[in-house]
Structure 1
Amino acid sequence: MSEDYKDCLRTHGLKSTKARNGVLAILSAEASVITVDAVYQTLQERGCKVNFSTVYRILEMFTERKLTEKIFLPDEGKYGFSLRRTGHTHRLICLRCHKVVDLAHCPLSDYEKEVAAKTDFEIVGHNLELYGYCPECRRKKP
Structure 2
Amino acid sequence: MDLEKKKTFNNFAARKGLRSTRQRDIILDAFLSTHQHVSVEELYLKIKTTHPGIGNATVYRTLKLFVEAGLAREMLLHDGQTRYEHITAGEHHDHLVCTGCNSIIEFENETIEQLQNEIAMRHGFLIRSHKLEIYGLCSACRG
The percentage of aligned residue pairs carrying the same residue is 24
The alpha-carbon deviation at position 20 of structure 1 amounts to 2.5
Describe the superposition over 1:101-127 as per-residue Cα deviations: whole angstroms up to 9, x where unpaired.
321214143244324423x33332211
Q: How far off its partner does 1:43 sit?
A: 1.8
Q: Is the contact made by 1:19 and 1:48 (CA closer than 8 Å) also made in structure 2?
A: no
The secondary structure found in structure 1 opposite 2:23 is helix
Give, in whole Å, the separation in 2 of the partners of 1:73 and 1:132: 12
Q: What per-residue deviation string (whole Å, max 9, x for no partner) do you get for residues 63-100 of structure 1?
A: 1111111111212x131112224412212234455443
What is residue 53 of structure 1 aligned with on the other side? 57
Is 1:88 matched up with 2:85? no
The alpha-carbon deviation at position 6 of structure 1 amounts to 5.5
Question: What do you get for the CA RMSD once the two structures are aligned?
Answer: 2.8
Q: Does structure 1 residue 114 correspond to structure 2 residue 132?
A: no
Aligned length: 134
User: Which has the larger displacement, 12-21 or 98-107?
Assistant: 12-21
> Normalising by structure 1, what TM-score?
0.72
Q: Does the aligned pair in 2 maintain the 1:69–1:81 contact within 8 Å?
A: yes
Q: Kindly provide the amino acid, as one letter, of the partner of residue 19 in structure 1.
A: Q
2:48 to 36, 44, 51: 44
Segments of structure 2 that go 5 or more residues without pairing to the other structure are 14-18
After superposition, residues 1-142 of structure 1 pair within 5 angstroms as: 5=2, 7-12=4-9, 13=11, 14=13, 17-75=21-79, 77-86=80-89, 87-95=91-99, 98-106=102-110, 107-118=112-123, 120-139=124-143
TM-score (normalizing by structure 2): 0.71
Q: 1:34·1:98 contact (CA, 8 Å) conserved in 2?
A: no
Matched letter for residue 36 of structure 2:
S
Paired letter, 2:84 = F
Structure 1 segments unaligned to the other structure (5+ residues): none
